[in-house]
Amino acid sequence: MSLNDLEVNTNRRLVFFDLETTGLNFYHDKIIEIGAIDNHGNTFEVLINPHCKLKPIIIKITGITQQRVEDDGIEEKDALEQFYNYINNPKYRNKTFLIAHNAYGFDEPFLKHRMKQFGIRLSPSIKFIDTIWMAKYVLPNRYSYRLEKLCKHFNIDYGHGHRALEDTEYLKQLYLILCYVWKQRDGLSHSPIQIYNFIKSV
């Protein structure tokens, strides 16, 4: 199975995305980096200046330094507007899926909340798919569902990880494999709308 098998020649659009943030609380923390790649090879990457001091643990995990966000980061509002425009391609209206690892527990609520702060609202037709949920369904007995652990399980070369665009490449490969395992196990099509509908039905 290749990425071409996953809707690349259809009118659906899959956007694999990742956020790096100043912390885990979307009411108080901010986004410092957004990375994305879609199933047509279009990439998105932006660094954001949060105008606050980064915690040492965030610098250690992401490799993003205080100087880097201050020198190269743009305003969060501008970054979110750019990402909104990247997502909302009129060609794929009502047929766009945003895919993230822990989307339901982190990326989706964080993204929506931060966008709401600046009056940006995603269309209700845009659907989120969580690869952690997929992994828990096809691999119910694993002790860890962290991205790097799942990549190791499936022999995906994870590299260093924890930069937004880099993580989307691993996420894309993981999604492909999970779709394949799911299809082999249950015979479910790897169509994102079928995966989404199944997730929301249980």
Residue positions annotated with a catalytic role: 162
Helices (H), 35-107: 56-62, 66-72, 76-87
Mode of pairing for the β-strands spanning 127-130 and 13-21: unpaired
Could you tell me where the DSSP H helices lie in 3-130?
A: 56-62, 66-72, 76-87, 108-117
**CA dihedral over 141, 163, 168, 92, signed as positive or negative:** positive
122-to-9, 22, 24, 94, 100 alpha-carbon distances in Å: 25, 22, 21, 11, 16
The three-class DSSP label of residue 57 is helix
The CB-side HSE value for 23 (13 A sphere, CA atoms) comes to 11
Is 181 in a helix, a strand, or coil?
helix
Q: Which residues of 172-190 are buried (b: 16+ CB within 10 A; e: fewer)?
A: bbbbbbbbebbeeeeeeeb
